[in-house]
Amino acid sequence: MMRLRREDPRVVGSFRLHRRLGAGGMGVVYLGSDRRGQRVALKVIRPDLAEDQEFRSRFAREVSAARRIRGGCTARLVAADLEAERPWFATQYVPGPSLHDKVAEEGPLTAAQIAAVGAALSEGLVAVHEAGVVHRDLKPSNILLSPKGPRIIDFGIAWATGASTLTHVGTAVGSPGFLAPEQVRGAAVTPATDVFALGATLAYAATADSPFGHGSSEVMLYRVVHEEPHLVGVPDALAPLVRACLAKDPEERPTTLQLSMRLKEIAAREAHGVSDGRPPAQRARAERPTGRLAEPPYEEQRTTERRTAGTPAPRPQGQGHGQGQRQGQRQEQGQGHGSHSGPHARPSSSRQSSAQHSGAAGGGPSSRPTSGRTGGRPGPRTTGTGRRPSRPDPRLMRQRLIVFIVVTLIVALGIAAAQKL
């Protein structure tokens, strides 16, 4: 807010003016209040527009239509004087920053926040369109984020005033980057025009940038008509819906009612944490490649282990030594002595069967087949040299102990006999 200037009026109609809220192509907006203390945003028309009778007629029609709008997502029209020397109108004052300022200062919104704001705006546009008004200049700076939810301001007025940020006023009305293709071509506007602007606004909330980038007015208009929107950074849950809103053909865009219902579903799902709700910038940093191979999922590892007990699989390039060695050892154990030396060789069923029988006949601990252990569990562990750790045989240990005792007694008897001699 700014202080009133010397040339600014102090009273307009029944409202006392306190501060300047801003100025645009149509006039100056003031913060005012009535005798009951109700605060309003009061806009006074520029003197040059006030002298234009055609403007006055269009302005009167738009104000009349705005009076019929009933919806919680719009700034309600409080009063207007169309016959004054400088026409003016007052709307309900909405405290809170604009969506543009919010994103510029704090960064992109989360997917849940974007869906909730979009659902409320869609519902507000339903009420606007039912009143016979098309906003024609919906953009982040015309959306205020109040404590009670988002509010649409300046609805249906931009078209009447001819206010535009374009070089040639009257050729296309609105702001580059948020204009629909039919506005650029000079075709009739419909509620689908506001749907296009809403899609561009939601893309801005997700990326802090227009989906058609930056540039001169001519460049921006060309992109709107001929190029696809840039939606990198828009959350996956919202990207298809935003892309549908930005369709070049108005007939291919969803209606505001469809948008409201779909965005409410997305907002509810995101609020319950079904999908990643981080802003795209944070998600991109977290998912940035590190140059290292990621570990395969747990189920994939289990599947690989079960597979290696039967049919060998080629070892990937650059596989870690420990993991590759273990898988290779399991393959050798499952194939016995009959496997081929090449890593890509696939043994026949008969060769594999004979290898298992020969391993069983050999009786050695390293030649036992592992096919019996492939029923959902990995094979036995192996040592670093490729052999399984052998388990001590109790019978062999007893034999060795008896031999040791006998040899010890013989040596003792020999020593005693030698001493007697």
* pLDDT (0 to 100) of residue 336: 41
Of 90-99, 256-265, 279-288, minimum mean pLDDT range: 279-288
The catalytic position among 101, 137, 194, 276 is 137
Is pLDDT above 80 for 321?
Answer: no
Residues forming beta bridges with residue 15, ordered by sequence position: 12
* pLDDT (0 to 100) of residue 349: 41
Residue 7 lies in a domain: yes
Domain end, chosen from 281, 313, 338, is at: 281
* pLDDT (0 to 100) of residue 392: 66
- Residues 131, 19, single domain; the answer is no
Q: What is the pLDDT of residues 2-16, one digit of tens each?
A: 999 999 999 999 999
- Residues 147, 204, single domain; the answer is yes
Domain end, chosen from 65, 93, 121, is at: 93
More confident residue, 357 or 109: 109
Q: What mean pLDDT comes out for the span 354-364?
A: 41
Percentage of residues in the chain with pLDDT exceeding 90?
42
* pLDDT (0 to 100) of residue 326: 43
Residue 161 lies in a domain: yes
Is pLDDT above 60 for 135?
Answer: yes
Residue 249 lies in a domain: yes
Is pLDDT above 60 for 286?
Answer: no
Q: What is the pLDDT of residues 150-202, one digit of tens each?
A: 999 875 454 433 333 333 334 445 678 899 999 999 998 999 999 999 999 99
Complete DSSP assignment for 35-62? TT--EEEEEEE-HHHHT-HHHHHHHHHH
Distance between CA atoms of residues 324 and 301, nearest Å: 12
- Residues 70, 207, single domain; the answer is no
Domain that holds residue 180: 95-281
- What angle, 0 to 180 degrees and rounded to 10, lies between the N-to-C axes of helices 191-207 and 99-106? 20
Residue 198 lies in a domain: yes
More confident residue, 340 or 267: 267
- Residues 69, 33, single domain; the answer is yes
Q: Evaluate whether 88 touches 80 at the Cβ level (below 8 Å).
A: yes
Write down the pTM of the prediction.
0.60
Average pLDDT of the chain? 75
- Residues 120, 197, single domain; the answer is yes
Domain end, chosen from 40, 72, 93, is at: 93
CATH of the domain at 175: 1.10.510.10
Q: What is the pLDDT of residues 39-86, one digit of tens each?
A: 999 999 988 888 888 888 877 877 887 788 877 788 888 999 999 999
- Residues 118, 77, single domain; the answer is no
* pLDDT (0 to 100) of residue 396: 83
137 given a catalytic annotation: yes
Is pLDDT above 50 for 24?
Answer: yes
CATH of the domain at 63: 3.30.200.20
How many domains would you assign to the chain? 2
Q: Give one word for 291, left, alpha or beta, with left for phi > 0 and alpha for psi -120 to 50.
A: left
- Residues 88, 140, single domain; the answer is no
* pLDDT (0 to 100) of residue 139: 93
Is pLDDT above 70 for 114?
Answer: yes
Residue 292 lies in a domain: no
